Amino acid sequence: MHDTETPGFDRDKMLKDPPFYLPEFEQSYRYIIDEYEVSPRELAIFMPCAMRKPYSTSPSHRLIRSIIADVLDPSQYHIVIFGTCGILPAELELMYPYAHYHYMLGKVKDQNIKDDFLRIETERVAGYLEKTRDTYRYRVGYCIGLFREALIQGSKKAGVDIDLILPSRDLINVIIEEDCPFQEGSLSMDEYLEEFHQGLIKIKSQIEQAEKNYQKE
């Protein structure tokens, strides 16, 4: 784990304002884009940030990570966290300010704040995708709601494709029709997790086929 210093800020302060507005997050984002070296992997898996910090200790992340570990070898993939935090390689989850804020976009009613989030996060996603254009062979996103929209728009802006975004729109529509407490349900739902598991199996097959083709050349 990394615990990089971010000079000029109080590291003991728990941040509660919308993080995408805060200079701490912009400075840390610039560090990731301008200085941090991302190790090449076959697959990048983009997943949303979580309420519990560090992210890897949250129940949802544990579930998602267990499915990833069931399908893929650690040498094959790289987890990337994105959302209200911006976007960061998962191994930096202890870097200030990523473990020092408390914020829920889902509780926000102000449409202007939601619009600002989408605009800012789209730019940050695009910046990361541009930086890592040649770092990954495949990219998978597991997300819903505004996070999903930011990933899609960021991909278009950067001109870097996300090969697979799950849950599928068809499955999301089924969940919406079932009148869940949250409009699109939760990423921890069995239906979504099973589709994610199957999607990773297909991606793994593509990775292995690409490796075989490379060895034949």
Checking if the pLDDT of 141 tops 50, the result is yes
Confidence band, pLDDT 50/70/90 cuts, at residue 200: very high
Specify the residue for token string 């060895």.
Answer: 215
- 8 Å CB contact between 107 and 16: no
pLDDT given for residue 184 in this prediction: 86
Reduce the DSSP state of residue 68 to 3 states and report it. helix
Q: Is residue 11's pLDDT more than 80?
A: no
Cα–Cα distances (Å) from 6 to 11, 39, 50, 88, 158, in that order, read 8, 22, 21, 15, 27
Q: Which stretches within 72-189 are classed as H helix?
A: 111-131, 145-158, 169-177
Distance CA 168, CA 156 (A): 18
The pLDDT value recorded for residue 139 is 98
Average pLDDT across the chain, whole number: 91
The residue type at 66: S
Across the range 202-207, mean pLDDT stands at 95
Length of the chain as a residue count:
217
The answer to which of 51-55, 69-73, 96-100, 207-211 has the lowest mean pLDDT is 207-211
CATH of the domain spanning 19-209: 3.40.50.10630
Q: For residue 6, what pLDDT band results from cuts at 50, 70 and 90?
A: very low
Select the more confidently predicted residue: 208 or 77.
77
Of residues 178 and 67, more confidence is placed in 67
Residue 1 has pLDDT above 90, yes or no: no
Structure token digits, residue 98: 């990523």
- Condensed to tens digits (0 to 9), the pLDDT of residues 105-130 reads 888 889 999 999 999 999 999 999 99
b/e sequence 15-31, b meaning 16+ C-beta within 10 Å: beebbbebebbeebbee
- pLDDT tens digits, residue range 29-63? 999 999 999 999 999 999 999 999 999 999 999 99
Residue 137 has pLDDT above 70, yes or no: yes
pLDDT over 70 percentage in the chain: 91
Name the band, by pLDDT with cuts 50, 70 and 90, for residue 3: very low
Interacting residues of 38 by C-beta distance below 8 A, sequence separation 6+ = 78, 89, 131, 132, 135
14 or 94, greater pLDDT: 94
Taking only the tens place, the pLDDT of each residue in 72-93 is 999 999 999 999 999 999 999 9
Calculate what percentage of the chain has a pLDDT beyond 90. 78
Closest CA to 141 of 181, 206, 195, 94: 195
